[in-house]
Amino acid sequence: MPASIFNGAISFGLVSVPITVLSATEDHSVRFRRIHTADNGLVRNRYWCEVEDREVTFGEIGRGYELPDGRVIPVTDEELRALPLPTARAIELIAFIPASAVDPLRIGPGYYLQPQGTVAAKPYLVLRHALERASRVAVARYAWHGRERLGLLRVRGDVIALHGLLWPDEIRDPAAVAPPPVQLDDSEIADRYTEALHAVIEAKQEDRQLPQVPEPTARPGQLVDLMAALQQSVDKARAARGETGDAVPQEAPAAQANTVATKR
């Protein structure tokens, strides 16, 4: 069981559900230590007090806000916990929206919300069922680590998950990386499926041979079947290593087309 990150409540209307916030993800990245390359000795950070000109321990370190004139205003953990905000100890629900209305770029790390005890279980389940039945997610406000944040509550299995949301001004404008304008001819954007279907219907109506599938011609900029291209690339690599057998399972044409269409 992961350690608790936050203890508070989900607040909506007159209802308050005590919850514990637990991380929903694990980091399996390889971690490196910084070393002195001459002798492989570990390099450590030291905390230094500029006033007393000495090293201090982590337990002696607090928070402070530096003013433009260089003065520092100390702020304690107790003062942060007592901020005059309704979200200081609660995740306040402010709206219910379709999940498709949320830009995926704004969605941050995920957490699980665990009800605290039997008393909290019933309103927790009521909220979970309400979100599930309505196929909605809840937008919330909460205050962590010295700032108020936006969040997204959604149902995952039998629990409610919380995702941090970036504020709109934290998303960079994509215009700087957009491709230059290009000219598309009618054949590249025409509805060829409907045309081919009409051709088949007309051939059957007139008792003619059904039209044959034309051989694909590669052209610069032409869309390709990503799964087929991947399979071909993997097959060549496996053949070079003397291996046999399919490495990538073949999908039905409809599934392949859907894979291409849903890639982001």
pLDDT score recorded for residue 221: 47
What confidence category does residue 57 fall into, taking pLDDT thresholds of 50, 70 and 90? very high
- Tokens 């007309």 belong to 202
Res. 41: pLDDT tops 50: yes
d(CA 142, CA 88): 7
What does the pLDDT look like over 194-240, one tens digit per residue? 777 888 888 888 888 888 776 655 554 444 455 566 667 667 777 77
d(CA 88, CA 31): 33
Q: Which two tokens stand for residue 116?
A: 């605290």
What does the pLDDT look like over 142-194, one tens digit per residue? 887 667 889 999 999 999 999 999 888 888 988 888 888 888 676 666 677 77
d(CA 93, CA 247): 46
pTM above 0.85, yes or no: no
Helices (H) and strands (E) in the chain, counts: 6, 13
Q: CA torsion angle for 108, 129, 94, 83 (degrees, to 10)?
A: -70
pLDDT score recorded for residue 53: 95
What does the pLDDT look like over 97-110, one tens digit per residue? 998 999 999 998 89
Q: Is the dihedral of CA 127, 130, 136, 139 positive or negative?
A: negative
User: Ramachandran region of residue 126, left (φ > 0), alpha (ψ -120 to 50) or beta?
Assistant: alpha
pLDDT score recorded for residue 153: 95
What confidence category does residue 263 fall into, taking pLDDT thresholds of 50, 70 and 90? very low
Average pLDDT of the chain, as a whole number: 80
Res. 80: pLDDT tops 50: yes
Percent of the chain with pLDDT over 70: 77
